[in-house]
Amino acid sequence: MPATRDEITTFFKKDFPQTKCQILEVGNRSALVSHPVGQEELRPGGTVSGPTMMALADVALYVAILGEIGIVPLTVTTSLNINFLRRPKPSHEIRAQSRLLKLGKSLVVGEVFIYSGSDPDPIAHATATYSIPPQS
Amino acid sequence: MPATRDEITTFFKKDFPQTKCQILEVGNRSALVSHPVGQEELRPGGTVSGPTMMALADVALYVAILGEIGIVPLTVTTSLNINFLRRPKPSHEIRAQSRLLKLGKSLVVGEVFIYSGSDPDPIAHATATYSIPPQS
Amino acid sequence: MPATRDEITTFFKKDFPQTKCQILEVGNRSALVSHPVGQEELRPGGTVSGPTMMALADVALYVAILGEIGIVPLTVTTSLNINFLRRPKPSHEIRAQSRLLKLGKSLVVGEVFIYSGSDPDPIAHATATYSIPPQS
Amino acid sequence: MPATRDEITTFFKKDFPQTKCQILEVGNRSALVSHPVGQEELRPGGTVSGPTMMALADVALYVAILGEIGIVPLTVTTSLNINFLRRPKPSHEIRAQSRLLKLGKSLVVGEVFIYSGSDPDPIAHATATYSIPPQS
């Protein structure tokens, strides 16, 4: 049974209290998640740090998975590959649009595009795989 | 001209004040960097979050590069691939051992093994590529 | 100056005489390339071999690049990441639809979806990076 | 029950008759596999083609896995990531040294270094993941 945006947001607030990610949309094997950009996310030269983008990509795919299979906390990332494409603007929030490419019983594969502000060109692209524990 | 461990530590304190990474060793195209594990690094189930490991892998390679080419702040990560291998122990710090596989004029490729406490089996393995700006 | 489908096909026949890839479309930072599936491409269990799909992904991105920058033979692949998603049907040709995500002066990043026959679900997804030599 | 070098070589001759790979060593979660370089493996500029290296990396890890779990033909590659590091010499065979980083019940992760002739610097590095079917 799929989880709704509100259910996943509640789950995140309880289990990932430190995350700044905000879930904007979820459903249809995809999710849209935003992350504010402040002093903590910037690195020298005024660009958004790579780990901030990697964390956002991971969350956006995780949310898309929960939107399909429900709140299964033991779902874990098994691999992630990211390409950094363009310098984001330091003054804009970043958003991640994720999409599941394969939703198997035990293995999920998805891709994510990350955008800065309203720029239509992505600043990063990631793919990742997730392992879902056997359901009893 | 290579940078020493002290020079890189000073650079990080100034330019990456938010990082908790501690540089233990640098030189010979490699680096050893540790990261404490506390509430902020843990996720449900008591495991270390993936983004914490991705950030540590990125820093460990960045430090190895600065140890060869000196403090070149505009060196940027262009891609990163990570495989999560085992569950780390929640009560142990994690350490990353990096090694450069190719040190070209404009492109650097390296790999990193991440360990938990004194366990000899790695908890994660990453490869990443970096772009070095042209030197004037 | 971009290269046309005919120019790239002629270049491939001369410089890659062993490839079985057929260029169907090229332009707009993308390409569609097909590959027949015969005894040489199959592996035990009747599935298409991974290396066949990796080679096709690489060609489909290379063609999209040549379609933008012209016949630059020294363009080389610097990295490739592929996820195998579904078992292809052994009796169908495979097709790769590529798209460039970043077309920089020296670095190109793109993604590819690979399909089997008329099945709308991709059998594999790849991203790859390419280095373009400095133009004189 | 692990498979020996002779058993794996026999399996390859029967099930992968088209491969030119030669298994030199297998055991201890690793394998050494060589591949000749002739006209079919070269591309413009006299370098070894990327797909040749990707195929060799895949075989070297597959052999290391069979060396641990025995001849399990349905073991399949689920993802592969490769970085091309240096131009190989066109006149030398290439060799792949693989090593398993994780040997789980259903998921295996390994890395491979590829060398050209007697040059000690690797020409490519790959990581890949494999799915092992449930044993009955």
**Does A28 touch chain D if contact means CB atoms closer than 8 Å?**
no
Q: Report the C-alpha gap between A81 and A124 in whole angstroms.
A: 11
Q: Identify the closest residue of chain D to A108 by CA–CA distance.
A: D78
* Residue D93 banded pLDDT, cuts 50, 70, 90: very high
Binary contact (B125, D125; C-beta < 8 A): no
Cβ-based neighbour number of residue B13 at 10 Å: 10
* Residue D45: predicted pLDDT: 73
Binary contact (A83, B79; C-beta < 8 A): yes
* Residue C93: predicted pLDDT: 94
Task: Say which range, A55-69, D9-23, D52-66, D97-111, has the weakest mean pLDDT.
Answer: D9-23
A85: Cα within 13 Å, side-chain hemisphere: 25
**What is the mean pLDDT of the segment spanning B12-37?**
93
**What is the mean pLDDT of the segment spanning A49-73?**
94
Closest by Cα among A103, A44, A117 to B16: A44
Q: Report the C-alpha gap between D135 and D121 in whole angstroms.
A: 39
Phi-psi category of residue D19: left, alpha or beta, with phi > 0 → left and psi -120 to 50 → alpha: beta
C24-68 per-position pLDDT tens digit: 999 999 999 999 998 888 877 778 989 999 999 999 999 999 999
Residues of chain B neighbouring D85 (CB-CB closer than 8 A): 101-102, 109
B75-128 per-position pLDDT tens digit: 899 999 999 999 888 888 999 999 999 999 889 999 999 999 999 999 999 999
Cβ-based neighbour number of residue B86 at 10 Å: 17
Question: What ipTM goes with this model?
Answer: 0.94
* Residue C136: predicted pLDDT: 52
Strand bridging mode C76-84 / C94-103 = unpaired
Contacts of D15 (CB under 8 A, 6+ apart): C43, C44, D73
Give chains near C: 3+ CB pairs under 8 A.
Answer: A, B, D
| CATH number corresponding to A5-131 | 3.10.129.10
* Residue B72: predicted pLDDT: 86
Residues of chain B neighbouring C131 (CB-CB closer than 8 A): 107
Residues of chain C neighbouring D74 (CB-CB closer than 8 A): 44-45
- Which two tokens mark C77? 């692949």
* Residue A40 banded pLDDT, cuts 50, 70, 90: confident
**What is the mean pLDDT of the segment spanning D15-37?**
93
Share of chain B above pLDDT 70, in %: 98
Q: Which residues of D26-59 are buried (b: 16+ CB within 10 A; e: fewer)?
A: beebbbbbbbebeeebbbeeebbbbbbbbbbbbb
* Residue A1 banded pLDDT, cuts 50, 70, 90: confident
Nearest-neighbour CA in chain B from C124: distance (Å): 18
Q: Helix, strand or coil for residue D57?
A: helix
**What is the mean pLDDT of the segment spanning A19-37?**
96
- Rounded to two decimals, the pTM is 0.95
Nearest-neighbour CA in chain B from A8: distance (Å): 14
Q: Report the C-alpha gap between A61 and A58 in whole angstroms.
A: 5
**Does D129 touch chain A if contact means CB atoms closer than 8 Å?**
yes
pLDDT at B58 over 90: yes
Nearest-neighbour CA in chain D from A40: distance (Å): 31
Binary contact (B129, C129; C-beta < 8 A): yes
Q: Report the C-alpha gap between B126 and A80 in whole angstroms.
A: 9
Task: Say which range, A98-107, D16-25, D43-52, has the weakest mean pLDDT.
Answer: D43-52
**Does A125 touch chain C if contact means CB atoms closer than 8 Å?**
yes
* Residue C135 banded pLDDT, cuts 50, 70, 90: low
- Structural contact between residues C55 and C4, judged by C-beta atoms closer than 8 angstroms: no
In chain C, the N- to C-terminal Cα span, in Å, equals 14
* Residue B60: predicted pLDDT: 98
Task: Say which range, A35-39, B30-34, C2-6, has the weakest mean pLDDT.
Answer: A35-39
Nearest-neighbour CA in chain A from B25: distance (Å): 22
* Residue A27: predicted pLDDT: 96
- Residues B12-18: contacts with CB within 8 Å, 24+ apart? B15/A43, B15/A44, B15/B73, B16/A43, B16/A44, B18/A39, B18/A40
Cβ-based neighbour number of residue D136 at 10 Å: 3
Q: Which of B43, B49, B77 sits opposite A50 (nearest CB)?
A: B77
Nearest-neighbour CA in chain A from B20: distance (Å): 12
**Does C76 touch chain B if contact means CB atoms closer than 8 Å?**
no
Strand bridging mode D124-131 / D107-116 = antiparallel
Q: Which of B40, B43, B58 sits opposite A51 (nearest CB)?
A: B58
Q: Rounded to an integer, what is the distance from CA A101 to the centroid of its chain?
A: 14
pLDDT at B136 over 70: no
pLDDT at D28 over 70: yes
* Residue B79: predicted pLDDT: 97
Task: Say which range, B40-44, C28-32, D32-36, D128-132, has the weakest mean pLDDT.
Answer: B40-44
Residues of chain D neighbouring A81 (CB-CB closer than 8 A): 81
* Residue B135: predicted pLDDT: 67
Q: Which of C44, C58, C81 sits opposite D50 (nearest CB)?
A: C58
3-state SS of D114-132? EEECCCCCCCEEEEEEEEC
Q: Identify the closest residue of chain D to B81 by CA–CA distance.
A: D81
Residues of chain B neighbouring C104 (CB-CB closer than 8 A): none
Contacts of B82 (CB under 8 A, 6+ apart): A79, A80, A81, B50, B53, B54, B57, B124, B125, B126
Share of chain D above pLDDT 70, in %: 98
Q: Which of D81, D85, D102 sits opposite B81 (nearest CB)?
A: D81
* Residue D115: predicted pLDDT: 97
Strand bridging mode C94-103 / C30-35 = antiparallel
C75-131 per-position pLDDT tens digit: 899 999 999 999 888 888 999 999 999 999 889 999 999 999 899 999 999 999 999
Indicate the DSSP class of residue C90: T
Residues 80-119 of D with CB under 8 A from A: 81, 106-107
Mean of the per-residue pLDDT values of chain B: 92
Q: Report the C-alpha gap between B129 and D15 in whole angstroms.
A: 37
pLDDT at A136 over 80: no
Strand bridging mode C107-116 / C94-103 = antiparallel
**What is the mean pLDDT of the segment spanning A1-26?**
92
**Does D78 touch chain A if contact means CB atoms closer than 8 Å?**
yes
Cβ-based neighbour number of residue A29 at 10 Å: 17
| DSSP assignment of A86-116 | SPPPTTS-EEEEEEEEEE-SSEEEEEEEEEE
Task: Say which range, A55-69, A104-118, D43-57, has the weakest mean pLDDT.
Answer: D43-57
* Residue B123: predicted pLDDT: 97
Cβ-based neighbour number of residue D5 at 10 Å: 16
Nearest-neighbour CA in chain D from A108: distance (Å): 11
- Structural contact between residues D92 and D81, judged by C-beta atoms closer than 8 angstroms: no
What DSSP element (H or E) covers A63? helix A50-69
Nearest-neighbour CA in chain B from A28: distance (Å): 25
- Domain positions in chain B are 5-131
- Structural contact between residues C123 and C115, judged by C-beta atoms closer than 8 angstroms: yes
**What is the mean pLDDT of the segment spanning B39-63?**
89
- Structural contact between residues A90 and B61, judged by C-beta atoms closer than 8 angstroms: no
